[in-house]
Structure 1
């Protein structure tokens, strides 16, 4: 009697709240389930993903997949939850092994979330491996097209692995996660999309990338995106690339150990925005990037305004620490690259590209390309170790042409250490300002002549005496956390600020 009253009371509450029926929880079991079952309990679970397609999800509904099971095929799903009653895709059962959704040979995606609101997908594994590489193949596709605003999509604790897309960007590439927004009849975008605690492993070409409105004449950016606490491992191309976004926060992510398998035509880098405003990239680590061109840890790319790159750690990449670039021939869809700030980052042992690329042996620690404007590079530490061979580039900064040259760039209180003779090359860039930078080593074309013996002695005592390669000494300025059983290093703001205050 009490149970009946309780069910009646709960049901009544949902009717009062505007729900036609109480939320349902549906179970899937690939081994013991049956699509003729009700799906409403673990003992009456459905068997296949096809059965989910026939279900119209209501606010508050859950789809639970049994741990340790493999569900072959495609999960293509739409759900409109609310702030208090989100729709959730999750795991159930004993053990730690995530349920796996495995795409078929021809699938462009294994999971798609389409035109949804207040939707969480978490604690699953997704793979999408075909017999051959397929251009545009992805693991998870999140799409908002001719819909309006899609609110609060959360992607949490997914393992996305073994997606064999194309290695060539112009063919369409491939990705672990693809975020798409657009539409001709109804302009559409995401608001408060979050990607966190995910592990993206062996995905080709890229880890996570967006596709949206990039034209400034038709600007409708995604808002308030958060990408945090993710590990990107053994991905050869781009790591995290928001496109057509405003106010994106990218923090506490690790990209590591990229395989050297991209064709020689390809450029890629770790974490970078394109056609974005007000992006913050902080507390991240990128190491072992091996793209034939670029291969920096971080990048502020063109059609971007007010990109902030701070407290990041870049090391042992074929390219340098950072690229700041703008195409002078992009046309009126682009605003250029304005107001980038790169501060309090540390680079150790970057710029070790062992083979020729588009411009020969080219891998400066900082590359400024094209007519970027009003850039500030401040209080970074560039520690360039001995290069692996005599032919490797040893340039600290190159500021060169991409249909134009940089203007109004300020380099303030940075530390440049070179274990062997290095150089600076500002080519035809204009109105470069240099303020109190520290140069330790031998350099050609120094932009400033004064030597700061106090700073040199301080750096020798605090860093070089600990270890000539810089790792031990500079790690004292870092903190670390565990992310997906990996160790992520990032710069401690209070430590690096105190370090510079001791010098200046």
Structure 2
């Protein structure tokens, strides 16, 4: 307490002014000023104290040399530009994070790593930080492992309250053979001390022209024998476009929420297997209210994915369109021991819309178990030919997949099929049928323009009378054409689903008036 009080008094004597706010210490002993430090690349001076705009520091080196205290703020001057790395030291405490932001205008200050640093902005073994309102780039003359932002843990234990918000990250020319490099990456390794994040938020960032990944998490605790998942991970409101490989990926998490993101044109430059939005080695992930479009290629190329070593993933209320590899991948690589992988069990896919996704609608690959796929609307336009549902072998076949209340609206050509073989570019040779998959259940689906799947005792084969199918553009708000007309035969006769999520894509209650509709729209009148 004595040293901190001394620092507060010194800061006051040296120039802390009305910009510094008095904050109660966590121990309740005294009010201590929380200094604000200003940095101005043009008019700053590192010989000054930095605690007012008139006495701002000039360089990132000055910022990086200081160990900041809980509650302190670092403000970078609007429109300032720095070449180098931002790595401020220190940690906050609960209720008093250290924050990085901007002042003096509306143009974000720029951090340009110039390819000279692996990470343009870095936090390592730190917690209680909030970073916002920066523009970040990191391009070198040749490709190398690079990132815009890296939040890293190494034998640290639990790191709390890391918030990365409202950044613009672009032009990071990382390498293709390392997934956790590119835009924003959070990583944890803990051979000596297991490490993980608790309360990690990555929100409202714009990321473009980065390689390989947009937002990617990595942890050595993904393996089940060392399972130590990060908790309270929230990835929301981010806009990504022109991404070399994967868009948004959560790894080694429990209860992560990935919502209201837009990922356009992922997998643009990678030779690997990439998806716009997905979870791997993650339990109880909720992926909702997102849009994914324009993912390139068939390795894998889908909009969404529930991947192996994951349990109870929920993919709901999303919009997928124009992805080369299709709407959805649910997969599990067979052959792993339980100490390594929990397989893929209990995936739920509901109230999503797929419009003109290419080549495949839903691909269920490997020994996936107990997936439940219901009340989705999948539209195939007149110019497209699609394996609407594709079962494939990945050291085993799926078991116990259920399909209820879906609308398969095919104006082009589609079929239910299985993979006979797969080419190096990810394309399948397919044949009619379900291959060696087992215990598939179909009930109360509408098959318009495609043959009925076997044993669907309450199937419809008529036009579901959507208001204007195929007219979706950009954004979930463009999907009103997928609502059911008043005279739709798909109203009020769907299969009741327990624990159905209680609402449809538009927020209407499910069931409504004691009945369930087919497709992603639930009518809310009782006529």
What range is the shorter-chain TM-score in? Answer: 0.7 to 0.9
The 1:413–1:160 alpha-carbon spacing in structure 2 relative to 1, beyond 3 Å, is same
The 1:84–1:305 alpha-carbon spacing in structure 2 relative to 1, beyond 3 Å, is same
Provide the residue aligned with 2:163 in structure 1: 154
After TM superposition, the structure 1 stretch with the greater mean CA deviation from structure 2, 400-409 or 420-429, is 420-429
Aligned match for 2:182, one of 175, 180, 183? 175
Provide the residue aligned with 2:499 in structure 1: none
Residue 475 (1) aligns with residue 480 (2)? yes
The 1:261–1:11 alpha-carbon spacing in structure 2 relative to 1, beyond 3 Å, is closer
CA distance in 1: counterparts of 2:313 and 2:353, whole angstroms: 18
Which residues of 2 match residues 65-104 of structure 1 at below 5 A? 65-94=76-105, 96-104=106-114
| Higher helix residue share | 1
Provide the residue aligned with 1:342 in structure 2: 349
Residue 119 (1) aligns with residue 129 (2)? yes
Provide the residue aligned with 1:140 in structure 2: 149
Provide the residue aligned with 1:384 in structure 2: 380
Provide the residue aligned with 1:407 in structure 2: 399
The 1:503–1:381 alpha-carbon spacing in structure 2 relative to 1, beyond 3 Å, is closer
Please say if residues 73 and 98 of structure 2, whose CA atoms lie closer than 8 Å, have aligned partners that are also in contact.
Answer: yes
Give the number of equivalent residue pairs. 463
Provide the residue aligned with 1:316 in structure 2: 322
Deviation at 1:211, TM superposition (A): 1.0
Deviation at 1:139, TM superposition (A): 0.4
Which residues of 2 match residues 232-251 of structure 1 at below 5 A? 232-251=240-259
Deviation at 1:267, TM superposition (A): 1.3
CA distance in 2: counterparts of 1:172 and 1:13, whole angstroms: 43
CA distance in 2: counterparts of 1:19 and 1:78, whole angstroms: 24
SS at match of 1:43: helix
Provide the residue aligned with 1:188 in structure 2: 195
Please say if residues 469 and 482 of structure 2, whose CA atoms lie closer than 8 Å, have aligned partners that are also in contact.
Answer: no
Deviation at 1:171, TM superposition (A): 4.5
TM-score normalised by structure 2 residue count:
0.82
TM-score normalised by structure 1 residue count:
0.85
Which residues of 2 match residues 395-434 of structure 1 at below 5 A? 395-425=387-417, 426-434=434-442
Aligned match for 2:216, one of 185, 206, 209? 209
Structure 2: gaps (5+ residues) = 1-11, 418-433, 484-503, 520-527
The 1:452–1:247 alpha-carbon spacing in structure 2 relative to 1, beyond 3 Å, is closer
Deviation at 1:24, TM superposition (A): 1.3
Provide the residue aligned with 2:3 in structure 1: none
RMSD: 2.9
The 1:78–1:201 alpha-carbon spacing in structure 2 relative to 1, beyond 3 Å, is same
The 1:12–1:25 alpha-carbon spacing in structure 2 relative to 1, beyond 3 Å, is closer
Higher RCO, 1 vs 2 (CA within 8 Å, ≥6 residues apart): 1
Aligned match for 2:264, one of 256, 260, 264? 256
Structure 1: gaps (5+ residues) = 352-362, 479-489
Please say if residues 277 and 307 of structure 1, whose CA atoms lie closer than 8 Å, have aligned partners that are also in contact.
Answer: yes
SS at match of 2:33: coil
Provide the residue aligned with 1:356 in structure 2: none
CA distance in 2: counterparts of 1:284 and 1:27, whole angstroms: 37
CA distance in 2: counterparts of 1:248 and 1:503, whole angstroms: 29
Please say if residues 262 and 291 of structure 1, whose CA atoms lie closer than 8 Å, have aligned partners that are also in contact.
Answer: no
Deviation at 1:132, TM superposition (A): 1.4
